[in-house]
């Protein structure tokens, strides 16, 4: 099944988002999900043009708001495979509160964050994941703010699938995305995706010297070890950056617990009659 649309990517040549696009395309192709059952939602940013590149349902929503839109889609039709494609500024800046609450609710959404550690679309300002000392157009003397650790945040908020990939290894990233889609519950996949135009610090070469894959000795069911590995970049002065599946667990999804959705998709629920509505409103008379 061909999931590509007629729209071509307009990322800068060499942009890490090409690798993420290839990984998501491969994951969907291997899963072979009917295109009418897939919805891709984005916010605003370079990464957020992703829904246009696929021949599935999609929505290019507001800055920082793809998760509320995706949640609405899941609650309305829980048969949809809902995927959020977004960036670090969109997800970890203006949209950070939504990340916390979707994670704790365990809504069955797969969130792919193209983390380039800078605001690329608006020409290179420091983002929530920019490293201390990073010189950008908004921090010409070096960033003085501690970067957010998205994996640690997601873990502590209750996410049930937490992974990190690298766009320089799209085959590995595709496996993380595919398994995130198959996972029943909220999945966060933080994708290290270099911005070749505005981020001259966190380049492909910089990542390749530091990135390594979690091995068979890492138990993704161990929450404590997942936190420890999530904090390893800070602990090693950003000399070691693990990628792979950090944590996965099972617990009921929001859709399975909510009284309005646990018996099936809302779109398949009969609309109440006028008499039912009038009866429900009698208590307010």
For the segment 10-51, what is each residue's pLDDT rounded down to a tens digit? Answer: 999 999 999 999 999 999 999 999 999 999 999 999 999 999
127: DSSP letter = -
Question: What per-residue confidence (pLDDT) applies to 271?
Answer: 73
d(CA 220, CA 280): 47
Angular region, 124: left φ>0, alpha ψ -120 to 50, beta rest: left
Residues in the chain, pLDDT under 70: 274
Residue 99 backbone phi and psi in degrees, to 5:
-60, -45
The tokens describing 257, both together, are: 């617990």
Question: What per-residue confidence (pLDDT) applies to 269?
Answer: 78
Domain region containing 221: 17-284
Question: What per-residue confidence (pLDDT) applies to 274?
Answer: 67
Please check whether residue 65 lies inside any domain of the structure: yes
Please check whether residue 162 lies inside any domain of the structure: yes
Please check whether residue 64 lies inside any domain of the structure: yes
d(CA 91, CA 82): 16
**How many structural domains are present in the chain?**
1
Please check whether residue 196 lies inside any domain of the structure: yes
86 burial level (CB within 10 Å; 0-12, 13-18, 19+): buried
CB contact burial 58-82 (16+ within 10 A = b; e otherwise)? bebbebbbbbbbbbebbbebbebbb
Please check whether residue 11 lies inside any domain of the structure: no
d(CA 73, CA 76): 5
The tokens describing 224, both together, are: 């404590």
Please tell me the pTM assigned to this model: 0.94
Please check whether residue 12 lies inside any domain of the structure: no
Please check whether residue 106 lies inside any domain of the structure: yes
Please check whether residue 5 lies inside any domain of the structure: no
Domain CATH for 67: 3.40.50.970
């Amino acid at each position: 099944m061909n999931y590509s649309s007629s729209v071509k990517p307009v990322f800068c040549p060499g942009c890490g988002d090409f690798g993420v696009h290839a990984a998501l395309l491969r994951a969907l192709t291997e899963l072979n999900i009917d295109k009418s059952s897939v919805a891709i939602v984005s916010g605003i940013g370079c990464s957020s043009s992703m829904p246009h590149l696929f021949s599935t349902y999609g929505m290019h929503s507001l800055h920082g708001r793809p998760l509320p839109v995706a949640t609405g889609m899941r609650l309305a039709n829980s048969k949809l495979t809902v995927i959020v494609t977004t960036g670090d500024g969109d997800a970890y800046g203006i949209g950070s509160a939504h990340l916390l609450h979707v994670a704790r609710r365990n809504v069955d959404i797969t969130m792919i964050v193209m983390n380039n550690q800078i605001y690329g679309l608006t020409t290179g300002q420091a983002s929530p994941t920019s490293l201390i000392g990073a010189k950008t157009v908004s921090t010409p003397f070096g960033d003085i703010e501690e970067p957010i650790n998205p994996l640690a945040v997601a873990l502590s908020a209750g996410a049930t699938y937490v992974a990190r990939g690298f766009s320089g290894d799209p085959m590995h990233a595709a496996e993380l995305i595919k398994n995130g889609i198959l996972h029943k519950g909220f999945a966060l996949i933080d994708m290290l995706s270099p911005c070749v135009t505005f981020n001259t610090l966190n380049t492909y070469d910089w990542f390749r010297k530091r990135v390594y894959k979690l091995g068979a000795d890492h138990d993704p069911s161990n929450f404590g070890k997942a936190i420890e590995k999530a904090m390893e970049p800070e602990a090693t002065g950003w000399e070691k950056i693990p990628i792979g599946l950090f944590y996965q667990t099972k617990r009921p999804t929001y859709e399975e617990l909510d009284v309005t959705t646990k018996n099936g998709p809302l779109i398949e629920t009969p609309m109440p009659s006028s008499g039912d509505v009038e009866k429900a409103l009698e208590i307010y008379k």
